[in-house]
Amino acid sequence: MHSHFDAMDGPVLIMALADGAGSASHSADGARAGCSAAVHGAMMFIQQYGARSITADAVRQIFRDAREEVRRQANETGCRPRDWASTLLIVVMSGQGAAVAQIGDGSIVIDFGEGFELAFLPDQDMLNVTNFLVDEDAMDVVQVRIFDDIQPQRVLLTSDGLMPVLIDVRKSAPHTPAVERFLSVLDDRYVGSDTSELLESLLSHEQVNARTDDDKSIIMAARILAS
């Protein structure tokens, strides 16, 4: 899910990705609700205060509000919050910098013009354990980073289903050739093409499916510099 709009201090892009827990009966509902609430919360904050005002505390509050909204919707349907469990990753990009945050598995890859880096390094001791937005201790484990006055050139958010393809977990680093291949669908040479079709072709490629049999979710963005 994403939103692109003009704030008081310039254009802003918000991206959110969530992956439902396989054991949760309404995880898809939880993922949609979490993304929607987080994007809406970030929009409301930025429209009121401006992109430059976003802080780590503000991002944590956005996650806290999104958590409460998911739990509220779960309760309204007669479900336990755990039935709506999902991860949540969010990126806010503006001319003033960027804010990134994550709870649960998946990865955020950022390129500031000097190569790809992971926004958050995977915890080697927690590779088989996942936190979810609805968890009681969610706010204790959410990870947040603020980048002031430095603008990402390219960003990629992915669920854990694509991590075997895009992330070298042993090195705690992006697998650059694979990341470049996916981001290439945003290149100028594909302007006017159906990028969704190009991305679908990549996601269904036999080399990708040989590395993972999990659900695959991805969001990408590239900054276009004025000529």
What is the predicted pLDDT for the residue at 192? 57
pLDDT in tens, 20-37: 998 899 999 999 999 999
* Strand ranges (E), 51-128: 88-94, 97-103, 107-111, 116-118
What is the predicted pLDDT for the residue at 123? 63
Give the CA dihedral 208, 210, 212, 215, nearest 10 degrees: 60
What is the predicted pLDDT for the residue at 143? 96
What is the predicted pLDDT for the residue at 127? 54
What does 147-216 look like in DSSP terms, one character per residue?
EET---SEEEEE-GGGHHHHEETTTTEE-HHHHHHHHGGGSGGGTTS-HHHHHHHHHT-HHHHTT--S--
What is the predicted pLDDT for the residue at 128? 60
pTM score: 0.91
Dihedral-angle region of residue 126 (phi above 0 means left; psi in -120 to 50 means alpha; beta otherwise): alpha
- 96 three-class SS: coil
Q: Which residues of the chain have pLDDT under 50?
A: 126
pLDDT in tens, 140-150: 999 999 999 88
CATH level 3 topology of 2-222: Phosphatase 2c; domain 1 (3.60.40)
What is the predicted pLDDT for the residue at 124? 54
